[in-house]
Chain A
Amino acid sequence: MLIRLARQSLWNRRGTALMTLLSLVISIALLLGIDHLRLEAKRSFTSTVSGTDLIVGARSGQLNLLLYSVFRLGSATNNISWQHYQQISKHPQVKWSIPLALGDSHRGFRVIGTNDDYFRFFRYGQQQQLDFAQGQAFAEVYQTVLGAAVADKLGYQLGEQIILSHGVGAVSFSQHKDQPFTVVGILAPTGTPVDQSVHVSLAGIEAIHRGWQGGAPVLGRQPKLHAEQLAALQPTVITGFMLGLKSKVATFALQRQINEFKAEPLTAILPGAALAELWQMLSMVENLLLLVTLLVLIAALIGMMTTLLAAMKERQREMAILRAVGARPWQLFWLIELEVLCLTVLSIGGALLTLTAGLWLAQPLLSSQYGLVISIWPWHSHTGIVLSALTGVSLVLGAIPSYLTYRQSVAQGLVIKL
């Protein structure tokens, strides 16, 4: 019965109640949205690479290695010789290996020199394999496989020819103009940096750099290669490689062996640990954002309390009538609290609805523009707890006008002096 009274009383003041509701919906949606994006970004972030036990590059910090090998950010400190890669990849504990040769780009997208093993062994997310949306892997020197976002943004189709540039800037002055690559495959979207990559064979990388010295073409010394020469192309250096091991137990032992590799200074990292470290650095920003959202929410709750307090004066008569028909003071307390509860629950529902609708609308954009694949339903294991806590806080804040109403109803009696 109190519930019905609370409902009808709220409906009676639907103008102010609606504004309160709106501010609560917005701030709750903001809170849940930021929390959701944070977790989804983390999930998407940590799922950029999976199933890889070690990533190896020239001696450097683990974040640097992680950034250039997995996220296509920054540059390698040095190269690794092909012989040493061969040597390590033949280690008895190694199940598979993927070589990576970086340093070129195509209109801002990074070029990765690799081999067939990339398409066979690379895993992301929940051990998902790379799929071809169209075409297949490269088989010849001047063939390339594009990530989904590259093909989508630049509008490339199978069979088109593209020119690679030296260096990783969006605008490059030294282009490998004489050696165009033909698009033979386009990968399905993954929501990882793979979407932003242009894949060519190691031989292709070798071919376009033939005759270069010190990172620049030597004038007049870039001979066209014959078919036999192309077939015989062997890479001499790569930038790094990924390793999958036969047994996880061997990971640390092999990591130490690589780090202590005598012939060349190398660094081997565990992608999981490096990702966690990187994420921790980023989480500062994310925590700050969460804090701001929390403050917005508290402001909205205080706004609700203010509206309730403001309504107290005009509701004195209502309270006196309820007292006259026998309502106990604590029932009036709960009448106000029920209104608070009603508002909060409605706002939570509204916020979830708004957020889901917003995510549904934004999802195509997010996945195509930012490579972020985000689930539409913003519910996580702790969301229930967060929302219960929120309801608790709003009830505590609502207790202030409720208690004042209670006090007033006890002190004032039935006759209101208007």
Chain B
Amino acid sequence: MLSKPNFPALELKNFHFQWPGQQAFSLDIPAVSLAVGQHLFIRGASGSGKTTLLNLLCGIHRLTKGEIHIGGHLLQPQSGAKRDAIRARNIGVVFQQLNLISYLSVLDNVLLAGEFAGNKLPDAKARAQSLLTALGMSETLWQKQAQQLSVGQQQRVAIARALLNEPALLIADEPTSALDADNRDAFIRLLLSEADRCGTTVIFVSHDAQLADYFAAVLRMENLAAGVVLSNPLSNPQTNPQTETTGEQAPC
């Protein structure tokens, strides 16, 4: 956290995307900058281009024009291999559901993030264990196969995996859609508090407008998909969570 304060967690410049040969759909964002710990809610119905935007932010698809910086690293434009490497180290991803590789143990699923990141933290295992504990996964569950867990437990393991490398950015794609209302709120609180502890900025994508209350900044997909220029997406008046104090809570 102290090592990455100077760079914004996410910075988009002249962001423009269009599928090759298709004119009807485009995504345009002239300039967005998310400070460390400043979480963003992206709201949009299905079919609004959320998936495409996610794949772009993760570096899976190539941006047509413009730049994406993640925690000070240039993600786009870059070669595919570079994008993969930057994603491995600087971006954590939590899916809608079925986040885990079913045949690996809980602990191995979390450690998977470290394996592909290349910069193997020597204490990756200890970190994974403390993350799991912090997320309420007791030690008895660590060696269980992922497919034996409940959906809620699986989502918590997914958070642990997404945070293992202390990434600048955590991208969550409708992670609460498989949870009931009580679990949903608990999940979001847990996600945001853990992200704050790690100094990770969360980008949360959902169609569910109710969840926007948890976030300081909201971006509406409709604006992007229509090609409308959106200069300041940080429209939620709510104050940012306290990024400064998070550094002291060590065992992240």
Q: Interface residues, chain A, CB within 8 Å of chain B? A: 1, 5, 8-9, 11-12, 317-318, 320-329, 331, 410, 413-415
The answer for the CA separation of A322 and B95 in the assembled complex, in Å, is 12
The answer for the CA separation of A323 and B161 in the assembled complex, in Å, is 13
CB pair B113–A321 under 8 Å, yes or no, is no
Q: Does B238 contact A (CB under 8 A)?
A: no
CB pair B54–A414 under 8 Å, yes or no, is yes
CB pair A325–B103 under 8 Å, yes or no, is no
CB pair B103–A414 under 8 Å, yes or no, is no
Known A11-B103, A414-B95; contact A326-B54, beta-carbon cutoff 8 A: no
The answer for the CA separation of A320 and B94 in the assembled complex, in Å, is 11
The answer for the CA separation of A414 and B175 in the assembled complex, in Å, is 14
Q: Interface residues, chain B, CB within 8 Å of chain A? A: 51, 54-55, 58, 60-61, 80-81, 84-85, 87-89, 93, 95-96, 98-104, 112-113, 115-117, 161, 173
The answer for the CA separation of A410 and B58 in the assembled complex, in Å, is 13
Q: Which residues of A contact B80 (CB under 8 A)?
A: 328-329, 410
Q: Which residues of B contact A320 (CB under 8 A)?
A: 95
CB pair A321–B116 under 8 Å, yes or no, is no
The answer for the CA separation of A324 and B103 in the assembled complex, in Å, is 17
Q: Which residues of A contact B102 (CB under 8 A)?
A: 12, 318
The residue from B58, B81, B113, B161 contacting A414, defined by CB atoms under 8 A apart: B58
CB pair A325–B60 under 8 Å, yes or no, is no
Q: Which residues of B contact A12 (CB under 8 A)?
A: 102-103
The answer for the CA separation of A179 and B85 in the assembled complex, in Å, is 95
The answer for the CA separation of A69 and B85 in the assembled complex, in Å, is 76
CB pair B84–A328 under 8 Å, yes or no, is yes
Q: Which residues of B contact A323 (CB under 8 A)?
A: 60, 84
**Smallest Cβ-Cβ distance to B145: which chain A residue:** A12
The residue from A11, A329, A410, A415 contacting B51, defined by CB atoms under 8 A apart: A415
CB pair B95–A324 under 8 Å, yes or no, is yes
Shortest beta-carbon distance from B176 to chain A in Å: 16
CB pair A415–B112 under 8 Å, yes or no, is no
Q: Which residues of A contact B58 (CB under 8 A)?
A: 324, 413-414
CB pair B113–A325 under 8 Å, yes or no, is yes
CB pair A326–B87 under 8 Å, yes or no, is yes
**Smallest Cβ-Cβ distance to A415: which chain B residue:** B51
CB pair A326–B103 under 8 Å, yes or no, is no
CB pair B161–A325 under 8 Å, yes or no, is yes
Q: Which residues of B contact A327 (CB under 8 A)?
A: 84, 88, 116
The answer for the CA separation of A9 and B104 in the assembled complex, in Å, is 8
Known A12-B102, A12-B103, A414-B95; contact A325-B88, beta-carbon cutoff 8 A: yes
The answer for the CA separation of A325 and B58 in the assembled complex, in Å, is 10
CB pair B103–A321 under 8 Å, yes or no, is no
Q: Which residues of B contact A415 (CB under 8 A)?
A: 51, 54-55, 95-96, 173
**Smallest Cβ-Cβ distance to B96: which chain A residue:** A415
Shortest beta-carbon distance from B138 to chain A in Å: 23
CB pair A318–B88 under 8 Å, yes or no, is no
CB pair A1–B103 under 8 Å, yes or no, is no
The answer for the CA separation of A21 and B132 in the assembled complex, in Å, is 38
CB pair A8–B116 under 8 Å, yes or no, is no
Show 28 A/B contacts (Cβ-Cβ < 8 Å), sorted by A.
A12-B102, A318-B102, A320-B95, A322-B112, A323-B60, A324-B87, A325-B88, A325-B93, A325-B113, A325-B117, A326-B84, A326-B85, A326-B88, A326-B89, A326-B113, A326-B117, A329-B80, A331-B116, A413-B51, A413-B54, A413-B58, A413-B60, A414-B54, A414-B55, A414-B60, A414-B93, A415-B51, A415-B96
Shortest beta-carbon distance from A9 to chain B in Å: 6
Q: Which residues of B contact A413 (CB under 8 A)?
A: 51, 54-55, 58, 60-61
Shortest beta-carbon distance from B122 to chain A in Å: 16
Shortest beta-carbon distance from B92 to chain A in Å: 8
The answer for the CA separation of A253 and B153 in the assembled complex, in Å, is 92
Shortest beta-carbon distance from B201 to chain A in Å: 17
**Smallest Cβ-Cβ distance to B205: which chain A residue:** A415
The answer for the CA separation of A9 and B58 in the assembled complex, in Å, is 25
Q: Which residues of A contact B96 (CB under 8 A)?
A: 415
The CB with the most chain B CB atoms within 10 A, among A317, A321, A329, is that of A321
The answer for the CA separation of A414 and B87 in the assembled complex, in Å, is 12
Q: Which 5 A-B pairs have the closest CB atoms?
A: A326-B88, A12-B103, A326-B116, A413-B55, A324-B93
Shortest beta-carbon distance from B51 to chain A in Å: 5
Known A1-B115, A326-B85, A329-B80; contact A321-B101, beta-carbon cutoff 8 A: yes
CB pair A8–B60 under 8 Å, yes or no, is no
Known A8-B103, A11-B103; contact A325-B55, beta-carbon cutoff 8 A: no
Q: Which residues of B contact A410 (CB under 8 A)?
A: 80
The answer for the CA separation of A415 and B88 in the assembled complex, in Å, is 17
Q: Which residues of A contact B61 (CB under 8 A)?
A: 413
**Smallest Cβ-Cβ distance to B173: which chain A residue:** A415
CB pair B101–A318 under 8 Å, yes or no, is yes
The answer for the CA separation of A326 and B84 in the assembled complex, in Å, is 5
**Smallest Cβ-Cβ distance to B174: which chain A residue:** A415
The answer for the CA separation of A324 and B84 in the assembled complex, in Å, is 9
The CB with the most chain B CB atoms within 10 A, among A1, A320, A413, A415, is that of A415
**Smallest Cβ-Cβ distance to A324: which chain B residue:** B93
